[in-house]
Amino acid sequence: MSTPKYNERVRMTSAEALSILGREKPVFLKGLSQAEVEMVVAKASIRRYAANAVITNEAAGANHLFLLLEGAGRGYALTSRGEKIGLGWFPAGRIMGWAALVSQRLDYIVSMEAVTSSSALVWDRITIQALAATLPRLLENALSLAYDYVVVYRSLHLAALCDSAPQRLAQVLVQLAKGMGHEVDQGIELNISNEELANEAHVTIFTVSRLMREWRQRGLLTKGRGSIVVRQPDELLQMKT
């Protein structure tokens, strides 16, 4: 089990965090007044994580709730052979560690790591439960986010059963680009490796390499070292073979 690591030497002020929240408009804080948002933020600590730093460990006590301010997170589990299996990506504005909202003591069901240099608001379970009791809208928003992930899981499960490898890869690529990427002149740039795409789409890395080459030749994307620019997301989603 890896020890969660964060950097307290680089400080972010509450005012800076509030500015980011105003830009990201996280669902978790939807419907709260500005005064209520400020109260919630005042009760949090602000942590920074280096790229690839562990944020939470699977099976460890769910003692904190995290709201990503900057960067991105990724969920994963380890197999009995020590292989890392990706279980979803979390862009800025999303929360991680819902179990901390529940009065019953639960464990994290996945490990979380920072994909890039990231920062997060962090509440201990007692504090976030007290805030949720005072502001029930927080629980409603958390349930709304949980529903969204059930919808995504349903879509991915059906895709794994019914869709071809190109369709699965195209869906993963477009979803990640829209959720985690940033706009550039040629399209949407996403920092991700072929291995990570293969893991997310449940295909082999050889299939990813072949399809990336074919789609690049068709002008649907461009590829650099560790990054992809999706140029034609709608056309990608029409992939059948």
Confidence band, pLDDT 50/70/90 cuts, at residue 58: very high
For 6, counting Cβ atoms within 10 Å of its Cβ (0-12 exposed, 13-18 middle, 19+ buried), the class is buried
- Please, what sign has the CA dihedral across residues 151, 155, 160, 161? positive
Query: What pTM did the predictor assign?
Result: 0.80
Structure tokens at 118: 């990231």
**Whether 201 contacts 186, CB under 8 Å:** no
Q: According to the model, what pLDDT value does residue 44 have?
A: 97
Helices (DSSP H) in 45-202: which residue ranges? 125-134, 137-162, 165-180, 194-201
Token pair 């602000």 is found at: 46
List phi, psi (to 5°) of 57.
-115, 135
The predicted pLDDT at position 35 comes to 97
Give the percent of the chain with pLDDT over 70. 95
SS3 of the chain: helix, strand, coil, percent, to 5: 45, 25, 30
pLDDT digit string, tens, across residues 127-159? 999 999 999 999 999 999 888 878 877 877 777
For the segment 193-211, what is each residue's pLDDT rounded down to a tens digit?
A: 888 888 888 889 999 999 9
Q: What is the mean pLDDT of the chain?
A: 88
Query: pLDDT band at 9, cuts 50/70/90?
Result: very low
Write out 21-46 in H/E/C secondary structure.
HHHHCCHHHCCCCHHHHHHHHHCCEE
pLDDT digits (tens, 9 = 90+) for 217-226: 999 999 887 7
pLDDT recorded at residue 225 = 78
pLDDT at 120 over 50: yes
pLDDT band at 64 (very low <50, low <70, confident <90, very high): very high
Query: Measuring CA to CA, which residue among 228, 68, 60, 235 is closest to residue 145?
Result: 68
- Which of 35-39, 150-154, 229-233 is the most confident on average? 35-39
Distance CA 32, CA 24 (A): 14
Rounded distance between C-alpha atoms, residue 127 and residue 144, angstroms: 21
Minimum mean pLDDT range among 32-41, 82-91, 108-117, 138-147: 82-91
Element (H, E) at 18: helix 14-24
